[in-house]
Structure 1
Amino acid sequence: MIAELEKQLRRRGRSVVTVHGETPDRERAEAERVFQRGEVQIFLGSINAAGEALTLHRADTCVFVELDWVPAAMHQAEDRGHRAGQTATGYHIISLLAHMPDRQNLDEYVAKVLIEKLANINTILDEKAGIAGRRIEGTDASVRSRVIAALMSEAQRTDVAKNAQVAAMRKRALPRPRKQ
């Protein structure tokens, strides 16, 4: 997906740097540097590879063409450009999701799971509910951080089952080779 996006953007005369899971650390740092200096227009990165430990506050828009199962990963990715030192006057987040009428698709399913997870997190934080049978009192940032960390850990464990469901959906959605 990223390779195709990069190709299409370059075809339209845009300057692009790309970071994905196989990008070496040195190239990742160079991509960040040239984007921050304004030497290229577009920083194109996967959520897992570019979602953390990068400063992209020159950005004014963040477009997602994929979603992550974990809300914290999405939040981190959104914050790469929206942070202290941001040079743009505004910051826009756009998520592009595929929609196929009469069929559930992967994007819609992941979005639904993310929304459910965020609703659960908000419910727990709002009610100061306990984690693993313990009641957590207080509303300060450290308590909320511990609650979120516990929830994210649980969410990542349950994602293994979700990934199996996604693999099955992908298999059904892909065109089958014709027998000759």
Structure 2
Amino acid sequence: FTSMLALIEEELVAADIGFVKLTGATTKRQEVVDKFQRGDVPVFLISLRAGGVGLNLTAADTVIHFDPWWNPAVENQATDRAYRIGQDKPVFVYKYIIENSIEEKILKIQQNKAELAKALLSEEVSDKKLSLTDDILGALLAPLD
């Protein structure tokens, strides 16, 4: 997923737009966060895994997901980095999904997983609804409509 950040980074450099980036390879994590929070740069590129813990990004007003994750809770957690105590502006969230792509299949898996979680929590469960592994495999292997 960091390869997508690298592509976006190239475009930001070409457009002369300031940014910081947080991935698993980032060594000075707090410095990167502080630079964004102070408003020194308008863009913060974050990998889902590196940004999953301990971020409070009240300077953010837009979250864009370029690479979906099969688990919607991971994406929700990433989005929640901008919805923190101290946030004083609306936050807009966008998801870019390419038609007929693996990303579109992942989106369908997310929807299936969310429906399964809702069914489990609402006690409207049948044996048929508990086939998460089959649902994931089926979604990945099925042709796109």
Task: Please classify the TM superposition score into its range, dividing by the shorter chain length.
Answer: 0.7 to 0.9
Question: In the TM superposition, what is the alpha-carbon distance from 1:128 to its structure 2 partner?
Answer: 7.4
Question: In the TM superposition, what is the alpha-carbon distance from 1:124 to its structure 2 partner?
Answer: 1.6
**Size of the alignment, in residue pairs?**
134
Read off the aligned partner of 2:22 and give its amino acid letter.
Answer: V
Q: Which residue of 1 aligns with 2:67?
A: 66
Runs of 4+ in 1 over 6 A off after TM superposition: none
Read off the aligned partner of 2:91 and give its amino acid letter.
Answer: Y
Question: In the TM superposition, what is the alpha-carbon distance from 1:120 to its structure 2 partner?
Answer: 0.8
Rounded to whole Å, the distance in 2 between the matches of 1:6 and 1:82 is 24
State the SS of the aligned residue for 1:82.
Answer: coil
Instruction: Give a deviation string over 1:85-138, Cα, whole Å, max 9, x none.
Output: 113x211110011113xxxx2101110000100111112212376xxxxxxxxx
Counting only pairs closer than 5 Å after superposition, residues 46-57 of structure 1 correspond to structure 2 as 46-57=47-58
What value does the CA root-mean-square deviation take over the aligned residues? 2.8
State the SS of the aligned residue for 2:49.
Answer: helix
State the SS of the aligned residue for 1:47.
Answer: coil
Q: Does 1:19 align with 2:22?
A: yes
Q: Please, what TM-score do these two structures have when normalized by structure 2?
A: 0.80
State the SS of the aligned residue for 1:63.
Answer: strand
State the SS of the aligned residue for 2:63.
Answer: strand
Rounded to whole Å, the distance in 2 between the matches of 1:51 and 1:68 is 12
Q: Which residue of 1 aligns with 2:113?
A: 117
- Which structure 1 residue ranges, 5 or more long, are not aligned? 130-154, 169-180
Counting only pairs closer than 5 Å after superposition, residues 1-180 of structure 1 correspond to structure 2 as 1-24=4-27, 27-87=28-88, 89-100=89-100, 105-127=101-123
Greater RCO (Cα-Cα under 8 Å, separation 6 or more): 2
Rounded to whole Å, the distance in 1 between the matches of 2:52 and 2:12 is 21
Question: In the TM superposition, what is the alpha-carbon distance from 1:18 to its structure 2 partner?
Answer: 0.6
State the SS of the aligned residue for 1:127.
Answer: coil
Q: Please, what TM-score do these two structures have when normalized by structure 1?
A: 0.65
Instruction: Give a deviation string over 1:18-46, Cα, whole Å, max 9, x none.
Output: 1122222xx22211111111111000011
